[in-house]
Amino acid sequence: MTSPDRPRHESAMRRRLLLFGPFAAVLAAGGAFYVMLERETEGRFDPRGVPSMLIGKPVPTFTLPGNPGFASADLRGRPIVVNWFASWCAPCLEEAPVLMDLKRAGVEIWGIAYKDRPDATAAFLAGHGDPYAKRADDQPGRVAIDWGLTGVPETYLIDPAGIVRWRYVGPLTTDAIAGELQPLLRRYA
Amino acid sequence: MIRLALAFTLFLLAAPAFAISDPNEALPDPKQEARAVAIGEQLRCLVCQNESIEDSGADLARDLRHIVRQQVAAGKTDQQVIDWLVARYGNFVRLRPPFEASTLLLWGSPVLALAGGAAIVLLARRRQGESPPPLSDAERKRLRRLLDT
Amino acid sequence: MIPELGHFALALGVALGFAQAIVPLWGAHRGDARLMQAAPALALGQFLAVGISFVCLAWSSVVSDFSVLNIAENSNSLEPLIYKITGTWGNHEGSILFWCLILTMCGAAVAAFGAGLPSSLRARVIGVLGLAGVGFQLFALLESDPFVRLWPPPVDGRDMNPLLQDPGLAMHPPILYTGYVGFAVPFAFAIAALLEGRIDAAWGRWVRPWTLAAWCFLTGGIALGSWWAYYELGWGGFWFWDPVENASLLPWLTGTALLHSALVVEKREALKVWTVLLAIGTFSFSLSGTFLVRSGILNSVHAFANDPARGVFILALLGLVIGGSLLLFALRAPVLSATGIFAPVSREGALVLNNILLCSIAAVVATGTMYPLFADLLLGEKLSVGAPFFNATVFPLAVPLFAAMAVGPMLSWKRADLGAALTKLWWAALIAAAIGLFMATRAALLPTLAFACAAWIILGAAADLGERVRLFRVPLSASGRRLLGLSRGTLGTTIAHAGLGVTIAGIAAASLAHSSIVLLHPGQVAHVGGYDFQLTDLHDRSGPNYAARVAVIDVRHDGRLLTVLAPERRTFPVQQITTTEAKISTNGLRDLYAVLGEERDGGAVLRLHVNWLAPWIWFGALIMAAGGLVSLADRRLRVGAPARRRARTVPA
């Protein structure tokens, strides 16, 4: 080949490569969607889940009334699981036996009732078991916003220094307890 | 979330909630209320699909609307109100994501798209402008033969 | 028995689809005329089979056969007949079947109207449509079978989602789907051209009407959906940049670009490779719009979590169709050579600018819609991308598009004089600027710009038309004759462009709307935007499958009674859902809009709006679609009888 042909040949090659662009892009996107799908089924990917901003930070300051009610300053000295719940929340019903098992396993659980009437809360606990060592009521739901709560139930682990270490959205499962909570409890015990 | 029905997603079984709420919710000062609406429209209702807290009838959205108005009335700047919410819910709460390293491609997408379009046009034009390659010796011979006959 | 018949017909459709894919494509490859000639009959057969299948499902729904799972879950014996019929496509399984039906209808249409096509091109187009049809019918048959039986059948069905029990929304999916699926035809033409290795002006002439028809339906479908959101959802909004809405906007944007670039192929034999890519891209967005979104990757992936097989099937199918065609594109596109050369300032140049801007907007919308997912997957960042982002990024790209829109049609092909075109538009520019200045005192920057753009586009279209009929330069009667003599295509362009201007004005006017949430007791009056809304009565009413609470509101302006609005809150006992029925009274320039909220101590919470120019949003979309149809009338003449048209144009 003579020399003037070479740049032309190169530009033709470049053009051919360029034409593969859309195919490569779709291939990459398809692969990414497949990974999302896989992780979704395994429960490792949730595009809708709101991440907690509290992990690694101190519990927001609060004082709540209730039975007997508690304040952020009380969450010190030992690892405590804080569970947000409500009597009107169906998933909380589903969660109730799991929490009772957790209590029987010797884990200290404190409960905060979210936007619930105290008498309804009491009736709910009387009917489905009361796993809570202490219970507070957040009737206005204002403290919940400081916690970054998006719904009930949500469960948090507070370490002995009052730092939030873990959050779980939705009804707690035995898998989550065994796989995530127990190792953390052992670490911060 | 109800909007999904638009394209027949039809996985919507939750009861729709409408953002029709308490008339007392609005701030008395129309200027402050307008500011509160403008802020609220940039904040995502966390329990809904893709609605702002101003559009949503969800309980949590109502609480957040209330907080936004409280803070506006207390004289906080727009940025302070948004920061307060981001501190609790993260950037997820912002319907208008911040401009930072992780959103570079997002905010850069208009410029990148335009640049890409311009590049394709320039490439195509350059190719068009290229003159055909000079004839090889064999071709020249053939041409002469054709012209001679 | 009827459902089994439907199931069997669907299976038959798949079998015919396989034949429709293999026989003509093989025939075209081998140059075997007999095999190629089998294509139309197979396409019609497949249409008939899937049609029978769909009719069987609709019949089961009409007779309330609750032994069919799909009908037990989505229908109810008390439902009005119209919703029993429309309910057929108002659920996942039924809508997939409906989607397949329209795809086979496209194949049948090519078979029926394609007699003038070169036989190998026709065989390939039908073959490609058959191949796509097989994939989605298999999906219907294997992963979302609408004919699954339920034993024992329940006494009554679970009813259709009440939000969907609405005449506007009942007609929304057929129109939208026809738009989505209609782009399968340009797609099939693109693939056929890649297989043939040849594109010429005739190809462009063939592709345009199909694109135009699909585009008209998609425009109408999107407008209908947005209108439904406006009156049914009850907060006066009409576009939310929701992933689902974006998914329908994407093929519209690229389809609009395709419409314009196919014109260049037809007139000037340029932009061939680009047009083929756009045809593939548009149908790919259509597919993603119907399947990816519905299956939940974009919204809640829970649909996948419930049935991962379904999600993987969809993804694999999309990958095969989209990835396969783009691979073919990469391999075969170099064969397509461009011939037409043009200067940057020319009609072609303007259409290229149109394509760059439309595709940039599409790229931004696609990026914004997908970004949260990819940021989560790749960076581990949780982000939301919503209306504020899209408003901030799409509009700056749309303004130059709008500005160029009025000028483009005035430029001549190959090489144009921009100055001359602009001088014809001086008065349009002047009026648009005046409107902009006038609005600047009343509205924010974006709406002001939008108003000016709307005026510029509408007046620009008028100026173009005036120029073409030489208005005021020749006697009016001569102008009238010229108007009648204009090609329908030109007329359609002008109408459609003006329609977009009308829509933009409607959208811009949303910033002028007044709204208020008030608690009224019967007899009390609220003042909103210069109108007096008086609540006169609150009462109950019972509908066929719901109970309603009605508020009666008199609306007065300057003491004169304008209208009585009666918004409702409906409770559907079967699905335990409450919907709001907003009531709207329009005079074409403004909507009076009322929604009934909750009731409190004898009073009712009402949301009252005065929405200026709101009807223009959908009116403009209608004008756009009408412009498309006018243009289509022209195309059909050409396509149906190219020879006859040539004969007719000679004396003129």
Cβ-defined contact of B64 to A148 (cutoff 8 Å): no
Q: What is the DSSP string of C160-228?
A: --GGG-SHHHHHHHHHHHHHHHHTHHHHHHHHHHHHHT---HHHHHHHHHHHHHHHHHHHHHHHHHHHH
How many Å apart are CA C479 and CA C488, to the nearest integer?
A: 16
Query: Do C563 and C629 fall within a single domain?
Result: no
Query: Do B108 and B139 fall within a single domain?
Result: yes
How many Å apart are CA A22 and CA C292, to the nearest integer?
A: 18
Residue of A4, A148, A151 with shortest CB distance to B88? A148
- Does residue C179 contact residue C219 with C-beta atoms inside 8 Å? yes
Mutation for testing the C interface, residue in A9, A16, A40 having most C CBs under 10 Å: A40
Cα dihedral C527, C532, C537, C541 sign: negative
By CA distance, what is B84's nearest residue in A? A146
Give the domain range for residue C482.
392-511+623-637
How many Å apart are CA C347 and CA C414, to the nearest integer?
A: 7
Query: Do B14 and B86 fall within a single domain?
Result: yes
Chain C residues whose CB is inside 8 A of the B35 CB are: none
For residue C589, give how far its alpha carbon lies from the nearest alpha carbon of chain A (Å): 40
Does residue C372 have a cis bond before it (omega within 30 degrees)? no
State residue C620's pLDDT score: 96
State residue C324's pLDDT score: 95
Pinpoint the alpha helices (H) of C269-386: 272-287, 293-295, 302-306, 308-318, 324-332, 347-374
In a domain, C43, yes or no: yes
How many Å apart are CA C230 and CA C503, to the nearest integer?
A: 15
B68 vs B88, B91, B131, C121, C361, CA distance in Å? 13, 16, 65, 62, 33
Query: Do C89 and C215 fall within a single domain?
Result: no
Chain A residues whose CB is inside 8 A of the B64 CB are: 145
Helix (H) or strand (E) holding C47: helix C33-62
Query: Do B61 and B40 fall within a single domain?
Result: yes
- Does residue C341 contact residue B131 with C-beta atoms inside 8 Å? no
- pLDDT tens across C52-76, in order? 999 999 999 998 888 888 888 888 8
- For C207-230, what is the mean pLDDT? 92
Query: Do C282 and C417 fall within a single domain?
Result: no
In the predicted model, is pLDDT for residue C643 greater than 70? no
Query: Do C454 and C544 fall within a single domain?
Result: no
- pLDDT tens across B24-45, in order? 777 888 889 889 989 998 998 8
Cα dihedral C477, C478, C484, C490 sign: negative
- Residue finishing a domain among B93, B116, B134: B93
Cα dihedral A74, A76, A79, A84 sign: positive
For residue A103, give how far its alpha carbon lies from the nearest alpha carbon of chain C (Å): 31
Cβ-defined contact of A19 to C273 (cutoff 8 Å): yes
For residues C294 and A22, the model is more confident at A22
The phi-psi region of residue C530 (left if phi > 0; otherwise alpha if psi is between -120 and 50; otherwise beta) is left
In the predicted model, is pLDDT for residue C414 greater than 90? no
What is the 3-class SS of chain B, one letter each residue? CHHHHHHCCCCCCCCCCECCCCHHHCCCCHHHHHHHHHHHCCEECCCCCCCECCCECCHHHHHHHHHHHHHHHCCCCHHHHHHHHHHHHCHHHECCCCCCHHHHHHHHHHHHHHHHHHHHHHHHHHHHHCCCCCCCHHHHHHHHHHHHC
Residue of A4, A50, A151 with shortest CB distance to B133? A4
- Does residue B37 contact residue B54 with C-beta atoms inside 8 Å? yes
How many Å apart are CA C332 and CA C353, to the nearest integer?
A: 26
- Does residue A72 contact residue A179 with C-beta atoms inside 8 Å? no
Strands (E), C437-589: 514-520, 525-528, 531-542, 547-557, 560-565, 568-572, 577-581, 583-586
Query: Do B64 and B17 fall within a single domain?
Result: yes
Q: How confident is the model at residue C144 (pLDDT cuts 50, 70, 90)?
A: confident
By CA distance, what is A15's nearest residue in B? B123
Chain C residues whose CB is inside 8 A of the B21 CB are: 517, 597, 605
Q: Domain with B18 in it: what CATH number?
A: 1.10.8.640
- pLDDT tens across A126-135, in order? 999 999 999 9
Chain A residues whose CB is inside 8 A of the C308 CB are: 37, 41
In a domain, C644, yes or no: no
Query: Do B86 and B116 fall within a single domain?
Result: no
What tokens does A183 get?
């190792």
- Taking the CB of residue A95, how many other CB atoms lie within 10 A of it? 23
Query: Do C36 and C143 fall within a single domain?
Result: yes
Average pLDDT, chain C: 87
Strands (E), C601-643: 603-612
Query: Do C153 and C212 fall within a single domain?
Result: no
Query: Do C403 and C365 fall within a single domain?
Result: no
State residue C532's pLDDT score: 94
In a domain, C648, yes or no: no
Give the domain range for residue B33.
2-93
- Taking the CB of residue A72, how many other CB atoms lie within 10 A of it? 17
By CA distance, what is B87's nearest residue in A? A53
How many Å apart are CA C190 and CA C173, to the nearest integer?
A: 26
Query: Do B116 and B143 fall within a single domain?
Result: yes
In the predicted model, is pLDDT for residue C475 greater than 80? yes
How many Å apart are CA C606 and CA C555, to the nearest integer?
A: 13
Query: Do B86 and B26 fall within a single domain?
Result: yes
In a domain, C181, yes or no: no
Cβ-defined contact of A16 to C334 (cutoff 8 Å): yes
- pLDDT tens across A74-112, in order? 999 999 999 999 998 888 998 999 999 999 999 999 999
- Does residue B4 contact residue B10 with C-beta atoms inside 8 Å? yes
Question: Radius of gyration over alpha carbons of chain A, in Å?
Answer: 25
Chains that touch A (3 or more CB pairs under 8 A): B, C
For residues C290 and C438, the model is more confident at C438
Cβ-defined contact of C377 to A49 (cutoff 8 Å): no
Chain B residues whose CB is inside 8 A of the A8 CB are: 130, 133
- Residue finishing a domain among C356, C391, C426: C391
How many Å apart are CA C323 and CA C343, to the nearest integer?
A: 34
State residue B22's pLDDT score: 67
3-state secondary structure of C543: coil
Pinpoint the alpha helices (H) of C114-142: 119-142
- Residue finishing a domain among C391, C421, C437: C391
Q: Give the bridge partners for C528, in sequence order.
A: C531
Share of chain C above pLDDT 70, in %: 94
User: Residue with structure tokens 């994939």?
Assistant: C135
How many Å apart are CA C373 and CA C58, to the nearest integer?
A: 37
User: Residue with structure tokens 């638009």?
Assistant: B6
For residues C191 and C518, the model is more confident at C191
* C642-649 vs C614-640: helix crossing angle, rounded to 10: 100
Query: Do B19 and B78 fall within a single domain?
Result: yes
CA dihedral C339, C344, C346, C350 (to 10 degrees): 100
- Residue finishing a domain among C341, C372, C391: C391
State residue B16's pLDDT score: 38
In the predicted model, is pLDDT for residue C309 greater than 80? no
Query: Do C530 and C456 fall within a single domain?
Result: no
* C201-232 vs C184-196: helix crossing angle, rounded to 10: 160
In a domain, C496, yes or no: yes
Q: How many domains does chain B have?
A: 2
Mutation for testing the A interface, residue in B60, B62, B81, B125 having most A CBs under 10 Å: B60
Does residue A91 have a cis bond before it (omega within 30 degrees)? no
Q: How confident is the model at residue B135 (pLDDT cuts 50, 70, 90)?
A: low
- For A60-73, what is the mean pLDDT? 92
Residues of B contacting chain A (CB within 8 angstroms): 46-47, 59-60, 63-64, 67, 87-90, 92-93, 123, 126-127, 130, 133-134
Chain B residues whose CB is inside 8 A of the A145 CB are: 60, 63-64, 67, 88
State residue B12's pLDDT score: 29
In the predicted model, is pLDDT for residue B148 greater than 80? no
Query: Do C44 and C126 fall within a single domain?
Result: yes
Query: Phi, psi at residue C516, to the nearest 5°?
Result: -155, 145
Cβ-defined contact of C393 to B107 (cutoff 8 Å): yes
Cβ-defined contact of B130 to A150 (cutoff 8 Å): no
In a domain, C483, yes or no: yes
Query: Do B55 and B115 fall within a single domain?
Result: no
For residue A57, give how far its alpha carbon lies from the nearest alpha carbon of chain B (Å): 11
3-state secondary structure of A175: helix
Share of chain C above pLDDT 90, in %: 51
Q: How confident is the model at residue C133 (pLDDT cuts 50, 70, 90)?
A: very high
Query: Do C474 and C563 fall within a single domain?
Result: no
* B78-89 vs B59-73: helix crossing angle, rounded to 10: 140
- Does residue A80 contact residue A189 with C-beta atoms inside 8 Å? no
How many Å apart are CA C308 and CA C304, to the nearest integer?
A: 5
Q: How confident is the model at residue C95 (pLDDT cuts 50, 70, 90)?
A: confident
Cβ-defined contact of A5 to B133 (cutoff 8 Å): yes
In the predicted model, is pLDDT for residue C145 greater than 80? yes
How many Å apart are CA A173 and CA A87, to the nearest integer?
A: 19
Give yes or no for A32 touching C (CB within 8 A).
yes
Chain A residues whose CB is inside 8 A of the C317 CB are: none
How many Å apart are CA C283 and CA C321, to the nearest integer?
A: 10
Query: Phi, psi at residue C404, to the nearest 5°?
Result: -75, -25
- pLDDT tens across B72-123, in order? 999 999 999 999 999 999 999 999 999 999 999 999 999 999 999 999 888 8
State residue C640's pLDDT score: 44
Query: Do C30 and C95 fall within a single domain?
Result: yes
What ipTM was reported for this prediction? 0.86
User: Residue with structure tokens 């429309």?
Assistant: C86
- pLDDT tens across C327-374, in order? 999 999 888 876 677 888 899 999 999 999 999 999 999 999 999 889
User: Residue with structure tokens 């930070």?
Assistant: A57
By CA distance, what is A2's nearest residue in B? B136
Q: How many domains does chain C have?
A: 4
- Edge-first strand listing for the sheet containing C514-520: C514-520, C603-612, C590-600, C583-586
Cβ-defined contact of C305 to A41 (cutoff 8 Å): yes
- Taking the CB of residue C524, how many other CB atoms lie within 10 A of it? 14
How many Å apart are CA A177 and CA A99, to the nearest integer?
A: 10
Average pLDDT, chain B: 78
State residue C76's pLDDT score: 82
Query: Do B51 and B122 fall within a single domain?
Result: no
What tokens does C508 get?
């811009």
Query: Do C373 and C506 fall within a single domain?
Result: no
Cα dihedral B93, B97, B99, B104 sign: positive
- For C593-609, what is the mean pLDDT? 87
